[in-house]
Structures are given as structure tokens and as C-alpha cells.
DNA sequence: GTAGGATCGGGGAGCGCTCTCAACACCGCG
DNA sequence: CGCGGTGTTGAGAGCGCTCCCCGATCCTAC
């Protein structure tokens, strides 16, 4: 039977005693070991192993003010999130990158607006070295709170224009460009009555995709644009409305795959053949959805995992640089809290042609 | 422009000075405030507000040995996980419960076997008060490592029988009972040639569902049982094989909804009508999948979010009790590291009848 | 062989907090 | 009016670690 935490964990002191050196020497070895001669390093290493020594992070943070931990804030009030693998993929990317840098991932899920204050307080509390923030809605006050907390931050997706977002560093997909490409493809197919099911318009990604749609369909009949909400049910609803308003439409660009799948069901239900009667394009290339519909979905791919990885990389890089320049940089630390501000990144998208368009 | 972390955060000392009391008094107020007279409490509170004081968690942990943080370990080598909302839902449940207890969630995603050692080291490092572990595979050495780390742990799903699993506390669904109910339903429908697509048999949930199947189909034709892997593609593969082996089958119980959806596609492709020719039941009641197939899936529901919440609750309760009994309890601390070991919990499942069976 | 320089190791001072313990105040009761 | 008791407050000692600084050490070159 394990008596957990019964055995007091060995301290630096204990290791030092065992190896017959001073604490400082052990500390040096544990933290990289330069400046200590080989035989000693060896002896310390052995002592560490024998004792099963693991540094006490709390003690270390207390003096270094570093935590080797990054908060990931997912600000999603709706259950919706969990229906799509989006976050899981981002998390995976982030996790990989953080692990490679020996940083931990502290996950902050917010349920409602009240939670934002809690998150703000947590970040202000200096528990983490930085924050990665997702899924903002335009009216969120989170950026303001985060800004106030003064924690280096990278956003996933371009934040809105609210408080604290000016100069924020973010990683985003080329939503507008991707949308343009999708719609152009539909046009190239000879479709003339192209409709658009938007995402939830309180998110910049939805707005950008709508803009992309408009870039190509410059004077689109306003009846051909319906607001959705990124869910399959929303896609169904929107598709019904489109069909009612404008039965002669011959193509649909949905702002994500989930809505496209809903739209697809409605189209079939109403007896339209896809892609013969109506061509359909989604967005995301969410494999389990896009590949498994019938017909498989033509869609705009964004590399979600890579986005996560990149966010983490940007943050960590900024952090490193900051600690490197520590004393001098006070003045040049920008809004993001990152030195020499790594600028935002917009990743390209690619059109994946399957059967639906 | 925020100069992040430029202003040194106020310390207890500073608050004490401002309020004209001693550090100890401020500490008392900050930690609940009993034993301090009202006017003083008031004065300290004000000083805290004015200074924007936030306790330094590192310093606190250093002396209390508590971290108010729990690790969530997801041991999933395959990408598969991220295709289903399973973890997201569990995480949500866990997050809610932890938040209510002012605990943080440290997420540890493991990529491959090597990561297990890293995780073990992290847990042993005493960074967190406890751990919640998911998605074990039978041959995992993670339980052994965790056991060795001596961290109070609750497993999600019954762990296997390997090293360190004896006496482990877990939360699971009644996989076997749920499977039985599903199969009985098929039998009640008058189906006689009932097939089963199992999950990945290195996970206890898959094994248990198979056992439940066998409980009802006592002498099932072995050709009617095919091993799947919990993915839609695996479901397709398995369904093809079943159909080839045994074209006359009239019902299928798939060990999860994802595989059921794959099976459904194959059934349709081969011209079988569901449920007329072949009745189909899944497991999980994963809404985005189960409700959106055509026909919608009859399935066995398990309350995934509740499982997560329960795991967290069990862990936290054990932790509390442990710290309450601290000095005396050394001897009675069981395998799980939890005092007065809250025992494992198996949650009931319910059959959700939709159109597929 | 020894002086000089460069490098390495050890001692000690905290980081910010909690917690024990002693001092003190104030109450009621004898 | 004094004494014990109860209840508050303050002082101080660390928790385990890093990092600075100075003395010790080692090597090289003359």
C-alpha cells in the first residue's frame, strides 16, 4: 500500500549531503550543470537518482518568478464547443509545443461571463508565465481583464476590437482568403446563385468568412445570406430559410463543416441533389465530419493543430526573449507583454475538393 | 501600453504595513478571517483592495504543501480521441467541479509511451494535489508510475489489472449492464442473429461491453463478433466483415456511436434497410453523432459530463478528508492515496430509443 | 618553483508566505 | 479589587530553492 506523501521528499540539501558537495553545486547541476566539473556532475547525478530527488517547483518559482506554466483560456459559453474537435486539436498542438519546452498547461474553461472575472484574477495572480486565449466573442470583456492582468498573451483567432485588443498578438487562419477561394470555386463551376450560411457573427472568423464571400459575390442578393451559429442544427435552419426564400439557388458556402452537414441533410430532404442541383462547400476540413458525409464535403482546410502549436511557440519565444532582456526592456514591452513583439500570424488555407462541389 | 509585470506585486508585508497590523493578521484575514476582530478585518480588506493584493501561490504552496491544482492525465496515444467529444465533455465536468473548489486544472496529454515517464515524474514532483486519469489501455504502465508517485488518484473508467491498479478508485459507466440492455432490446424486437462490433479490446470499457453482449447472447456464433477500434472507419471495416461472414444477420450492437455510424454507412451501401432489415444500436449517446445519422441512432446513454464531475468530487473529497486527518491517518491511507477511501462508483446507463432499432 | 589569472565551490541572504507560540488585552467572577 | 481564563495579536522561524559574492583551487607560463 502506498502511503502517499508519507515519505518526505528529499531536498537539495539532502542531495548535496549525499554527494558531498554544497547545495549550490547541486542546484547548478540540476539546472543544466555548466560550471561544474565532470566528476562532480557525475556524483551529483547519482545522488539525485538514488534519492529520487525532484526539485520543488514552488520553492523555485518563489525565487525565479517563473512558473513554467501557461494558461489556456477557452472562453466558450456554449456547449457547442464540445461538439466539435476544434479545441481538442488546438490543445493537442499547444500541448506538444509546451511539453517540448517543459512547460505545463493550465486549462481554464469559462462557463459564463462571471467566470471571466475569476480568470482575470487568476492570471493577475501570477500563477503562470503567459496565456493562450481562444474563442473570443466580440463583446467579451476578457481581453480587457487580461490586459489588466499584465500577462503575456497570444490569442487564437483575431480578437475583436474591444478593450485591450489593440496590438494584441494572435494566430489566425486566412478566413477571408479561404472563403474567397471557396466561392470562386463555386463560381468557376458555373454557379450563379451562390448562398452563404454565416457563422455566429459575434466571432471574427464568421465575419471574415462573410467578407470573403462578399469579396467575390460583390452584389449578392441579401436574401442569399443567412446567419447561422456554427452548429449542425443552425445549418439546417439556415438552409431551410434559404430554400424558402430563394428556391432557385444553385450553390451554398457554409461557414463551417458542421453547418454544411446540417445543410446537406435539408437539401436531401427537399430532394435536391448535391452537387448536381446544389453545390456545397464547408470550412475547416474537420475530418470526421467532412469525410463522412454523403457526398463527402468539399471544404476549406485550416491546420488547426498547427495553429495551436504556433500560438504556443509565439508565446514561449516572447517569454524567452523577455527574460533575456529583462532589465533593459521595460520600456519596449508592448501591449502583448511580449518583448520585440512577435507579430501576429495568419496561416494560409487550402481548398480540399471532394464530391460536394 | 501594458508594461506587464513591471509593477512589483504587493506582498503581505505591504498590506500589513498599510493596514497597520502584522503580517500574521493579514494572513488570517486573507485565509478566512476567523479569530480576527471585525474592525481589523475591515481595515485589512480595504488595504488588500487598495493595493490589489493577490497572494503568491508559490510562497503559499512552499509552506502548506498544497497546490490547489489537480492534474488531468489523458493517456491517448492515438489521434482518435480528438475526433470524439468524449474528453471534452469529461473535461467540462471536471472543470466545473474543480472551479467550485478553487482548484486549477493542469492538463497532461500524453503522446506516446515515453510521455508516461514524463507524466510520472511530474506527478512525483508534487506539483499537484491529486490526479485524474483517463483512457488507460490494459498494458499501460502509467498506473504503476502513478502509484509510485504516491499521488492521490481517481481513474476515469475501470483501469485494467496491471501494476498499481489494485484498489484504485475509479468512476465508470455500467458498460456491461448497458450492453445487456441494448442486446436485450434487440432480442425483444425479435432479432435472432445479433452481431457485435467491439471496441478496442485493450480497454476495459470495450471488454465490459463485450461481456454484456455475451451475457445475453449466451452462445453467440463467434462469427458474429468482430473487433473494432471505436472509430467510424473501424466500424465500417467491421461491418463489412460481418456482412461477408454472415449475410443473414438482422441486428448489430456497436460498442460506440462512432462505429455505429460507420456501420450504418456500410449497411446502406450494401442495400440493407435500417432498422427493417438490420436493427442497429450504438453506445454513448454522443449527440452530434447519434442524433444526426439517418436514421437517428438508438443507443445507450452514459452521462459523460457527470462522470467527470464525479471523478473530481471524489478526488477532492478524499483530499479534504486527508488534510483534515493529517497527523493520525498515515496508517490508513490506502492505495489511492485517499483517506477513508471513497470507493469507486459505477454510473447507470439508459437506453435511448430512436429510429435505428 | 611560484606568481598570476581564471575558474569553481561554498556560505548566506532572502523570495512571500504560514504557523507556532508567547504576549497581551479584556472579561467575568470570587 | 485581583486573578484566572478566553480570545486576539504580533514576532519569528522556517518551507526549499536560487543567486550573489568571495575565498579556495587549479592551471599555465615564466
Find and give the residue nearest to D20, measured CA to C1'.
A24
Quote the pLDDT of residue A341.
56
- For nucleotide D18, the protein residue with its alpha carbon nearest to C1' is A63
pLDDT in tens, A197-220: 999 998 899 999 999 999 999 989
- The minimal CB distance from A82 to the residues B58, B88, B292 is found for B88
The residues near B98 (Cβ < 8 Å, ≥ 6 apart) are: B70, B104, B105, B312, B316
Q: For B109-138, how does the pLDDT look when each residue is reduced to its tens digit (9 = 90+)?
A: 887 777 888 888 888 878 899 999 987 777
On whether the CB atoms of residues B28 and B34 are closer than 8 A, the answer is yes
Per-residue pLDDT of B152-191, as tens digits, reads 999 999 988 777 777 789 999 999 999 999 999 999 999 9
A232 in reach of chain B (CB within 8 A): yes
Cell of B64: 502548506
Please list, in sequence order, all residues whose beta carbon lies within 8 angstroms of the beta carbon of residue A271, skipping any fewer than 6 positions away: none
Grid coordinates belonging to A62: 518563489
Q: Which residue has the higher pLDDT, A333 or A217?
A: A217
On whether any CB of chain B is under 8 Å from the CB of A6, the answer is yes
Which of A333-337, B182-186, B198-202, B274-278 is the least confident region?
A333-337
Which residue in B258, B131, B271 sits closest to B206, CA to CA? B258
- Predicted local confidence at residue B125, as pLDDT: 79
First-to-last alpha carbon distance for chain B, in angstroms, is 62
In angstroms, what separates the C-alpha of B190 from chain A's closest C-alpha?
A: 31
Set of chain A residues whose Cβ sits within 8 Å of the Cβ of B88: 81-82, 87-88
pLDDT bin (cut points 50, 70, 90) of residue B307 is: very high
Taking only the tens place, the pLDDT of each residue in A234-274 is 999 999 999 999 999 999 999 999 999 999 999 999 999 99
Size of interface A-B (CB pairs under 8 A): 176
Given this model, what pLDDT does residue A23 score? 86
CA–CA dist B293, B266 (Å, integer):
13
Q: What is the pLDDT of residue B84?
A: 64
Nearest Cα to Cα of residue B50 among B14, B23, B22 = B14
Residue found under cell 510520472: B120
Residue where the block lists cell 477500434: B229
Selection from B336, B334, B259 nearest residue B293 by Cα: B259
For residue A109, give the nearest of B4, B92, B109 by CB distance: B92
* CA distances (Å), origin A267, targets A294, B184, B237, B290: 12, 36, 29, 20
Residue boundaries of the structural domains of chain A: 12-55, 69-173+306-348, 175-302
Residue of A nearest to B94 (CA): A109
Is the previous residue joined to A295 through a cis bond, with omega within 30 degrees of 0? yes
> In whole numbers, what is the pLDDT of chain A averaged over residues?
86
Give percent of chain A above pLDDT 70: 90
Query: Who has greater pLDDT, A316 or A340?
Result: A316
Q: Model confidence over B136-153: pLDDT tens digits?
A: 777 778 888 888 888 899
CB < 7 Å to strand D — which of 38-97 in chain B? 40, 59, 62-63
**CATH 3.30.1280.10 for the B69-174+306-349 domain, yes or no:** no
Q: Which of A5-19, A190-204, B125-139, B219-233 has the lowest mean pLDDT?
A: A5-19
**Interval A142-147 mean pLDDT:** 86
Q: Mean pLDDT over residues A221-243, rounded?
A: 95
CA A30 to C1' D27, in angstroms, rounded, equals 27
Per-residue confidence (pLDDT) for residue B235, from 0 to 100: 95
State residue A252's pLDDT score: 98
Q: How far is the CA of A45 from the C1' of C12 (A)?
A: 25
A239 burial class (0-12, 13-18, 19+ CB within 10 angstroms)?
Answer: buried
Query: Which chain B residues are within 8 Å of A1, Cβ to Cβ?
Result: 167, 333-335
- Residue A300 clears pLDDT 60, i.e. is over it: yes
- How far is Cα B325 from Cα B320, in angstroms, rounded to an integer? 9
Higher pLDDT, B213 or B52: B213
Is residue B301 within 8 A of residue B353, CB to CB? The reply is no
Of B301, B259, B310, the C-alpha closest to B280 is: B259
Cell representation of residue A348: 494560409
Beta strand A350-352 with A298-301 is antiparallel
Architecture, CATH, for domain A175-302: 3-Layer(aba) Sandwich (3.40)
Mean pLDDT, residues A67-95 taken together: 79
**Residue B93 φ then ψ, to 5°:** -60, -45
Give dist(CA B301, CA A288) in Å, integer: 21
DSSP string, A314-339: HHHHHHHHHHHHHHHHGGG--TTS-T
Instruction: DSSP letter for A21, please.
Output: S
CB within 8 Å of A78: residues ≥ 6 apart: none
SS3 A344: coil
Chain B residues closer than 8 Å to A265 by CB: 292, 294
Q: Which nucleotide is nearest to A65 (CA to C1')?
A: C15
- Residue B24: strand, helix, or coil: helix
Residue keyed to cell 497532461? B108
Question: Which residue in chain B is spatially nearest to A94 when comparing CA positions?
Answer: B109
Band (pLDDT 50/70/90 cuts) for residue B333 is very low
Do A67 and B58 make contact, defined as CB atoms within 8 angstroms? yes
Its sign, for the CA torsion B29, B34, B35, B41, is positive
CB of A56 under 7 A from strand D?
Answer: yes
Q: What is the pLDDT of residue A231?
A: 87
Q: Which nucleotides of D are covered by protein (CB under 7 A)?
A: 7-20
Residues 263-322 of A with CB under 8 A from B: 265, 287-288, 292, 294
Cβ within 7 Å of strand D: which of A 238-297?
A: none
Residues 49-68 of B with CB under 8 A from A: 52, 54-59, 61-62, 65, 67
Cβ atoms of A30 and A48 within 8 Å: the answer is yes
Residue nearest D12 (alpha carbon to C1'): B24
Q: Which residues of A266-295 are buried (b: 16+ CB within 10 A; e: fewer)?
A: bbeeeebebbeebbbbbbbbbbbbbbbbee
Over its C-alpha atoms, chain A yields an Rg (Å, rounded) of: 26
Q: Measured between CA atoms, how close is B290 to chain A, in angstroms?
A: 12
Residue B81 touches chain A, beta carbons under 8 Å: yes
B28: nearest nucleotide, CA–C1' criterion: C18
Contact B95 A118 (CB under 8 A): no
The Cα-based distances of A268 to A206, B291, B356 in angstroms read 25, 17, 19
Please list every residue in chain B whose beta carbon sits closer than 8 Å to the beta carbon of residue A285. none
Q: What is the pLDDT of residues A116-131, one digit of tens each?
A: 888 888 888 788 999 9
Q: Which residues of B touch A108 (CB under 8 A)?
A: 104-105
Same CATH fold, B175-302 and B69-174+306-349? yes
H or E stretch covering A38: helix A38-51
* DSSP collapsed to 3 states, B202-251: CCHHHHHHHHHHHHHCCCCCHHHEEECCCCHHHHHHHHHHHHHHCCCCCE
Closest nt to residue A9, judged CA to C1':
D16
pLDDT band of residue A112 (cuts 50, 70, 90) is confident
Using CB atoms, which residue from B6, B9, B124 is nearest to A126? B9
Footprint of strand C on the protein (CB under 7 A): A 21-25, 28, 35-37, 40, 59, 62-63; B 8-9, 11-13, 23-24, 27, 30-31, 53, 55-56, 59-60, 62-64
From CA A339, how far away is CA B33, in angstroms rounded?
A: 40
Instruction: List the single residue in B87, B106, B148 with the smallest CB-CB distance to A104.
Output: B106
- Please identify, in words, the CATH class of the domain defined by A69-173+306-348: alpha beta
**Residue B324: predicted pLDDT:** 56
Report pLDDT digits (tens) over B75-112.
876 555 555 677 788 888 999 999 999 899 999 988 77
Q: Of A48, A109, A233, A289, which to mutate for an interface test with B (greatest number of B Cβ within 10 Å)?
A: A109
Q: What percent of chain A has pLDDT over 90?
A: 48
Are B185 and B309 contacting, i.e. CB atoms less than 8 angstroms apart? Answer: no
Q: Is residue B254 pLDDT above 50, yes or no?
A: yes
As a whole number of angstroms, the distance between CA A233 and CA A254 comes to 13
Mean pLDDT of A275-286: 95
Residues of A with Cβ-Cβ distance to B131 under 8 angstroms:
none
**Residue B63, nucleotide of least CA–C1' distance:** D15
Q: pLDDT for A22-78, tens place per residue?
A: 888 888 888 877 777 888 888 888 888 888 888 888 899 999 888 999 999 988 765
Q: Does B92 touch chain A (CB under 8 A)?
A: yes
Q: Which of B122, B147, B262 is opposite residue A2, by nearest beta carbon?
A: B147
Specify the pLDDT at position B300: 97
Residue A191: per-residue pLDDT: 97
Task: State the pLDDT at residue A327.
Answer: 40
Instruction: Tell me: pLDDT of B327 over 60.
Output: no
- Confidence at residue A322, expressed as pLDDT on a 0 to 100 scale: 65
B256 touching chain A per CB within 8 A? no
Choices 3.40.50.720, 1.10.260.40, 2.60.260.20, 3.50.50.60: CATH for B12-55: 1.10.260.40
* pLDDT value, residue A301: 96
- B229 φ, ψ (degrees, to nearest 5): -145, 15
Residue A79 has pLDDT above 70, yes or no: no
Segment B283-300 mean pLDDT = 88
- B95 CB neighbours in chain A (<8 A) are 107, 109
The reply to whether A92 Cβ lies less than 7 angstroms from strand D is no
Q: What percent of chain B has pLDDT over 90?
A: 53
* HSE-up (13 A, CA, CB side) for residue A236: 10
Answer whether the bond into residue A8 is a cis peptide, omega within 30°: no
Res A328 pLDDT > 60: no
Can you tell me the distance from the alpha carbon of A172 to that of A310, in angstroms, rounded to the nearest whole number? 10
Å from the A186 CA to the C23 C1': 85
Q: Which nucleotide is nearest to B16 (CA to C1')?
A: D10
8 Å CB contact of A89 and B82: yes
CB neighbours of B44 closer than 8 A, spacing ≥ 6? B15, B19, B21, B25, B26, B29, B30, B36
Nearest-angstrom CA–CA distance, A272 and A252: 12
A338: pLDDT strictly greater than 70: no
Under the banding of pLDDT at 50, 70 and 90, the label for residue A339 is low
Average pLDDT over residues B22-26: 90
CB contact under 8 A, A72 and B96: no
Amino acid at each position: 500500500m502506498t502511503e502517499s506523501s508519507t515519505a518526505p521528499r528529499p531536498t537539495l540539501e539532502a542531495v548535496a549531503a549525499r554527494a558531498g558537495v554544497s547545495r549550490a553545486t547541486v542546484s547548478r547541476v540540476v539546472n543544466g550543470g555548466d560550471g561544474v566539473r565532470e566528476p562532480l556532475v557525475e556524483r551529483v547525478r547519482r545522488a539525485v537518482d538514488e534519492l529520487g530527488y525532484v526539485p520543488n517547483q514552488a520553492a523555485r518559482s518563489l525565487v525565479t518568478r517563473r512558473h513554467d506554466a501557461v494558461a489556456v483560456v477557452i472562453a466558450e459559453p456554449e456547449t457547442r464547443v464540445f461538439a466539435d474537435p476544434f479545441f481538442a486539436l488546438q490543445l493537442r498542438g499547444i500541448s506538444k509545443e509546451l511539453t517540448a519546452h517543459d512547460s505545463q498547461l493550465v486549462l481554464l474553461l469559462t462557463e459564463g461571463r462571471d467566470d471571466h472575472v475569476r480568470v482575470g484574477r487568476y492570471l493577475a495572480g501570477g500563477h503562470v508565465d503567459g496565456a493562450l486565449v481562444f474563442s473570443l466573442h466580440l463583446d467579451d470583456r476578457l481581453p480587457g481583464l487580461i490586459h489588466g492582468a499584465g500577462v503575456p498573451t497570444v490569442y487564437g483567432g483575431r480578437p475583436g476590437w474591444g478593450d485591450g485588443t489593440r496590438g494584441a498578438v494572435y494566430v489566425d487562419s486566412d478566413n477571408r482568403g479561404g472563403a474567397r477561394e471557396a466561392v470562386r470555386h463555386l463560381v468557376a463551376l458555373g454557379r450563379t446563385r451562390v448562398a452563404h450560411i454565416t457563422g455566429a457573427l459575434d466571432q471574427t472568423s464568421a465575419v471574415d468568412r462573410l467578407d470573403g464571400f462578399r469579396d467575390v459575390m460583390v452584389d449578392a442578393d441579401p436574401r442569399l445570406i443567412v446567419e447561422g451559429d456554427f452548429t449542425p442544427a443552425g445549418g439546417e435552419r439556415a438552409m431551410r430559410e434559404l430554400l424558402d426564400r430563394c428556391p432557385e439557388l444553385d450553390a451554398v458556402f457554409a461557414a463551417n463543416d458542421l453547418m454544411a452537414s446540417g445543410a446537406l441533410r435539408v437539401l436531401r430532404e427537399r430532394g435536391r441533389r448535391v452537387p448536381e442541383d446544389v453545390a456545397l462547400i464547408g470550412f475547416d476540413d474537420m475530418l470526421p465530419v467532412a469525410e463522412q458525409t454523403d457526398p463527402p464535403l468539399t471544404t476549406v482546410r485550416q491546420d488547426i493543430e498547427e495553429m495551436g502549436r504556433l500560438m504556443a511557440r509565439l508565446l514561449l519565444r516572447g517569454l524567452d526573449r523577455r527574460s533575456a532582456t529583462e532589465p533593459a526592456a521595460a520600456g519596449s514591452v508592448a501591449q502583448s507583454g511580449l518583448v520585440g513583439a512577435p507579430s501576429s500570424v495568419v496561416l494560409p488555407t487550402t481548398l480540399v475538393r471532394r464530391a460536394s462541389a
